[in-house]
Chain A
């Protein structure tokens, strides 16, 4: 599914207005790279198949300096190469988006090299100069928003943590060095675009679960931190570890 064909307008059927859509950020003059172009749709598809959450299979790209960025509260920024410095309008657009409550998911498609990640961090310092990037604790609600997960994985196993910029208890920016979209990308014929290493099929499932959890977090925020869930989820965690 080519992103170029996607429509950026807001014509949705009743009930689809609030559906999850993994929009792709066009920043630094780069759009979503080809091999991972199908990943956002796969993400929506998995969300629809596994949960009651509505999602849009037809996903769109959105420019950092466009007012369309403010149409929905979730956007992801993918890349494998170093990002050129953002323009001032792009910086302002992203800052306004994050300040209003939007969530930005940054996924390094080539974490083995890490040039994308380090260049994005540089730009984040320009966008949110007073907001440090910190490791997300293993107890964060993101790891229990639908599936109970112990750690993040993607196409690569990567570090056992995600990093984030938070505002209070709410995540504003989430950084992954696991190439999560690489684990979800499919070929036109139906096979997987990339092999997942070192865990293979099981790791791909865990990567899919992380993607579902991320979508659920965007839709429900800290719902699974509510007291009514706490006791039961603690019991299940104990059972998993045994």
Chain B
């Protein structure tokens, strides 16, 4: 196909053209005005003036003749297929993504003369899709971002866009005004046709959304609003909603429950929960769906709540006042972030004789029952310092204390004559959660002075770094120790005895352990106060004591500063998707091989998923874990000999994408309407209009209409004629 046209030469700027034509039309107006005011009707003057001005103008803009040869090709059409995992939901007896594949095939058939590009959109950049092989991923389907990306791509723009979806896209939002919707999806300026993959709303009750009023803070009530949806033909009236916390090795704890009253297919219930432990906590939010629920997978959501800690609340129990008690209390009280509730036994009712009636004494009853039944949950950690379990009636609460630790509490047992076996803790429920065994020995302690020494793990652990930074490997002499047994499996010994042994190995002096969701510390000596007050302590102004206890308490409370590694889930963990990606980052200075142990947060003991990586690479490591089921998980990472770091996370079925299963046909129709497109279902693909063919130029020849000197000469001659005509008419 050949076509001829004219144009202004390419080397003239647009503003020159504008100025030229303004001057031309200005001169015409002036000429007309002059002739009218002088009462002259000389066509010669008028014509010669106009033509002279025109020739001058053409000499300036230099018009050219363009001869072009072109071919017509099929229009470019882009098909955007919704790839979010919502498209795995059912559409009749198929999935929505399978219907989308059908739609793409029908479009390809209908637009066989078009140049069709099929792209998938959900989260992040779009990706090309081979016809009929669509997969799903991502919680969101952002159509606005997809169209913006298309508009920003260099090259030929499509003549039309066809969106294949169920309409429940994340963006553009539902119920937008036409202008806002046009702005959201009209960046290309072409019609956006939509093909809905289903019109059928499934019979489904689901947790549509969970919102918390603010940040979760340990021990503080948090209002959680749960939105429950009920769609299709399902009969919903009052649906029970439960929130439970998943914990390691024990049954989930029910935090709150309520009833959602369903009106017009939706109901909300506000529940107040209190999370006692800081860090990542996994909650299970479930609705009891009525019979006939077609999609039970979205009746339960698993969500990770990051719980902050405002202050650490400690219970400090001491069997007698000593300089060791004094040092610990002084340090705890000096820390503004620690809230201490202390009970020290100042008078032993079995033998002490104060010689005064009770009202002359400043002594109060030790509220052991109240502490261990009513208030225990409110503490982040308990410190037992040289307090006899039998003498002070703790025995019957030790099972409760052990359960408290397994549910995420912290426990430190500090040495003394009435600690460990000397305090009648051997063989009790508390014994089993301590990081060390307690030997069967009539003699609970050794009076011989010694200087503890660091183990290999003690050198590697972040928890001891602050004190090692101050004192190196030096430690003060300790006046005796409780006898401790071997460390329990998984426990870490930081200090050991230079002479005493347990099970053929040096006896632990300071050991860390994990028990269920909680952590425990065993310290067999009662003289760490010498890190605060002694000639050695004076060398570092007494700061070594705070350095030790800051590390111990920090580790107990999972302070990231004292963890060997950081663990995070990259993206989401969704049941049924190929892999969950865990990123492990070592803290600076942490050396040794990396061991990942992943276990589900269930009451039953499950075989952990283990991954081991040799080497000391500083860069973050990503580990793929396939086939995780929905629920809560705890990932424990150990670097070399250092104590393990832990991260709890949730794995969902469908997650946010499956929260609302209703197709949104009106939204697809609105998108088409505001962009001049057509909204159809699968059967209506044949109605979609084919855009006009695109003309592609193959050859283009440009030649001036006349050389500039011709225009200039013509204008000079015409001006001469114009001058003569004026003189003859007396207009000069």
Chain A interfacial positions (CB closer than 8 Å to B): 10-20, 49-54, 67, 70-73, 96, 99-102, 144-148, 170, 205, 209, 216, 218-224, 226, 228-229, 232-233, 236, 239-240
Given the known inter-chain contacts A13-B479, A146-B363, A226-B342, please indicate yes or no for A221 contacting B354, CB distance below 8 A. no
| In the bound complex, CA of A149 to CA of B236 (Å) | 70
A-side contacts of B364, CB under 8 Å: 228-229, 232-233
Distance of A74 from chain B, by nearest CB (Å): 8
Q: Which of chain B's residues 332-349 have a Cβ closer than 8 Å to chain A?
A: 333, 340-348
Given the known inter-chain contacts A144-B362, A148-B361, please indicate yes or no for A17 contacting B329, CB distance below 8 A. no
B352 to A101, Cβ gap below 8 A? no
Additional A-B contacts beyond A17-B324, A147-B354 (9; CB < 8 A): A11-B449, A13-B479, A14-B447, A14-B479, A17-B480, A18-B323, A144-B362, A219-B325, A223-B344
B155 beta carbon closer than 8 Å to chain A: no
A49 to B352, Cβ gap below 8 A? yes
20 contacts between A and B (CB under 8 A): A14-B446, A14-B526, A15-B386, A15-B480, A17-B322, A19-B322, A50-B352, A52-B319, A70-B535, A100-B541, A101-B330, A101-B533, A220-B325, A221-B326, A223-B344, A226-B340, A228-B341, A228-B342, A228-B364, A239-B359
B-side contacts of A228, CB under 8 Å: 341-343, 364
B359 to A240, Cβ gap below 8 A? yes
A72 to B355, Cβ gap below 8 A? no
B689 beta carbon closer than 8 Å to chain A: no
| In the bound complex, CA of A205 to CA of B362 (Å) | 16
Nearest 8 interchain pairs by C-beta: A14-B480, A18-B322, A219-B321, A17-B479, A18-B323, A15-B417, A144-B362, A18-B324
Distance of B338 from chain A, by nearest CB (Å): 13
Distance of A175 from chain B, by nearest CB (Å): 21
Distance of B299 from chain A, by nearest CB (Å): 46
A-side contacts of B325, CB under 8 Å: 18, 219-220
B348 to A52, Cβ gap below 8 A? yes
Q: Which of chain B's residues 609-628 have a Cβ closer than 8 Å to chain A?
A: none
- Encoded as 1 (CB less than 8 Å from any A CB) or 0, chain B from 442 to 474 comes to 000111010000000000000000000000000
Q: What is the size, in residues, of chain B's interface with A at 8 Å between Cβ atoms?
A: 56
A70 to B320, Cβ gap below 8 A? no
A70 to B537, Cβ gap below 8 A? yes
B-side contacts of A17, CB under 8 Å: 322-324, 478-480, 526-527, 530
* Cβ-neighbour of B326 out of A13, A99, A219 (below 8 A): A219
| In the bound complex, CA of A232 to CA of B360 (Å) | 12
| In the bound complex, CA of A51 to CA of B345 (Å) | 9
B-side contacts of A144, CB under 8 Å: 362
Distance of B292 from chain A, by nearest CB (Å): 56
- Encoded as 1 (CB less than 8 Å from any A CB) or 0, chain B from 136 to 160 comes to 0000000000000000000000000
* Cβ-neighbour of A52 out of B333, B341, B345 (below 8 A): B345
* Cβ-neighbour of B480 out of A13, A145, A148, A233 (below 8 A): A13
B535 to A221, Cβ gap below 8 A? no
B356 beta carbon closer than 8 Å to chain A: yes
B-side contacts of A49, CB under 8 Å: 352-353
* Cβ-neighbour of B537 out of A11, A16, A100, A233 (below 8 A): A100
Given the known inter-chain contacts A15-B416, A209-B356, please indicate yes or no for A52 contacting B479, CB distance below 8 A. no
By CB atoms of chain B within 10 A, which of A17, A71, A205 has the most? Answer: A17
B348 to A218, Cβ gap below 8 A? no
B-side contacts of A101, CB under 8 Å: 330, 532-533, 542
B593 beta carbon closer than 8 Å to chain A: no
Distance of B363 from chain A, by nearest CB (Å): 7
B219 beta carbon closer than 8 Å to chain A: no
| In the bound complex, CA of A12 to CA of B526 (Å) | 12
Q: Which of chain B's residues 513-531 have a Cβ closer than 8 Å to chain A?
A: 526-527, 529-530
* Cβ-neighbour of A233 out of B324, B362, B478, B535 (below 8 A): B362
A73 to B326, Cβ gap below 8 A? yes
B298 beta carbon closer than 8 Å to chain A: no
| In the bound complex, CA of A101 to CA of B324 (Å) | 14
Closest A residue to B386 by beta carbon equals: A15
B344 to A15, Cβ gap below 8 A? no
B481 beta carbon closer than 8 Å to chain A: yes
Closest B residue to A212 by beta carbon equals: B354
B333 to A221, Cβ gap below 8 A? yes
| In the bound complex, CA of A20 to CA of B361 (Å) | 20
Given the known inter-chain contacts A52-B345, A147-B354, please indicate yes or no for A236 contacting B359, CB distance below 8 A. yes
B729 beta carbon closer than 8 Å to chain A: no
B479 to A10, Cβ gap below 8 A? yes
Closest A residue to B326 by beta carbon equals: A219
B527 to A18, Cβ gap below 8 A? yes
- Encoded as 1 (CB less than 8 Å from any A CB) or 0, chain B from 368 to 395 comes to 0000000000000000001000000000
B534 beta carbon closer than 8 Å to chain A: yes
Distance of B514 from chain A, by nearest CB (Å): 29
B-side contacts of A102, CB under 8 Å: 533
Closest B residue to A96 by beta carbon equals: B538
A-side contacts of B322, CB under 8 Å: 17-20, 53-54, 219
B362 to A224, Cβ gap below 8 A? yes
Distance of A95 from chain B, by nearest CB (Å): 11
| In the bound complex, CA of A101 to CA of B545 (Å) | 13
Closest B residue to A236 by beta carbon equals: B359
B445 to A14, Cβ gap below 8 A? yes
Given the known inter-chain contacts A10-B479, A71-B535, A146-B361, please indicate yes or no for A218 contacting B526, CB distance below 8 A. no
| In the bound complex, CA of A212 to CA of B660 (Å) | 71
* Cβ-neighbour of B346 out of A205, A216, A218 (below 8 A): A216
A50 to B355, Cβ gap below 8 A? yes
Distance of B245 from chain A, by nearest CB (Å): 29
A-side contacts of B481, CB under 8 Å: 14
Distance of B538 from chain A, by nearest CB (Å): 5
A-side contacts of B352, CB under 8 Å: 49-52
A-side contacts of B530, CB under 8 Å: 17
Q: Which of chain B's residues 232-253 have a Cβ closer than 8 Å to chain A?
A: none
A-side contacts of B477, CB under 8 Å: 10
| In the bound complex, CA of A16 to CA of B478 (Å) | 11
A-side contacts of B535, CB under 8 Å: 67, 70-71
| In the bound complex, CA of A16 to CA of B529 (Å) | 13
| In the bound complex, CA of A223 to CA of B477 (Å) | 28
Given the known inter-chain contacts A216-B346, A220-B329, please indicate yes or no for A53 contacting B320, CB distance below 8 A. yes
B-side contacts of A96, CB under 8 Å: 538
Closest A residue to B542 by beta carbon equals: A100
| In the bound complex, CA of A71 to CA of B330 (Å) | 17
B-side contacts of A145, CB under 8 Å: 362
B-side contacts of A226, CB under 8 Å: 340-342
Given the known inter-chain contacts A15-B416, A17-B480, A228-B341, please indicate yes or no for A148 contacting B323, CB distance below 8 A. no
- Encoded as 1 (CB less than 8 Å from any A CB) or 0, chain B from 530 to 565 comes to 101111011001100000000000000000000000
A221 to B320, Cβ gap below 8 A? no
Distance of A93 from chain B, by nearest CB (Å): 10
| In the bound complex, CA of A101 to CA of B355 (Å) | 32
Distance of A15 from chain B, by nearest CB (Å): 4
| In the bound complex, CA of A19 to CA of B542 (Å) | 20
A-side contacts of B359, CB under 8 Å: 148, 236, 239-240
| In the bound complex, CA of A221 to CA of B343 (Å) | 13
Distance of A114 from chain B, by nearest CB (Å): 31
Distance of A192 from chain B, by nearest CB (Å): 16
| In the bound complex, CA of A70 to CA of B541 (Å) | 12
Closest B residue to A145 by beta carbon equals: B362
Closest A residue to B477 by beta carbon equals: A10
Distance of B470 from chain A, by nearest CB (Å): 15
By CB atoms of chain B within 10 A, which of A15, A218, A236 has the most? Answer: A15
B-side contacts of A12, CB under 8 Å: 479-480
B348 to A16, Cβ gap below 8 A? no
A-side contacts of B319, CB under 8 Å: 52
Distance of B179 from chain A, by nearest CB (Å): 61
A-side contacts of B542, CB under 8 Å: 100-101
| In the bound complex, CA of A224 to CA of B329 (Å) | 12
A147 to B360, Cβ gap below 8 A? yes
A50 to B417, Cβ gap below 8 A? no
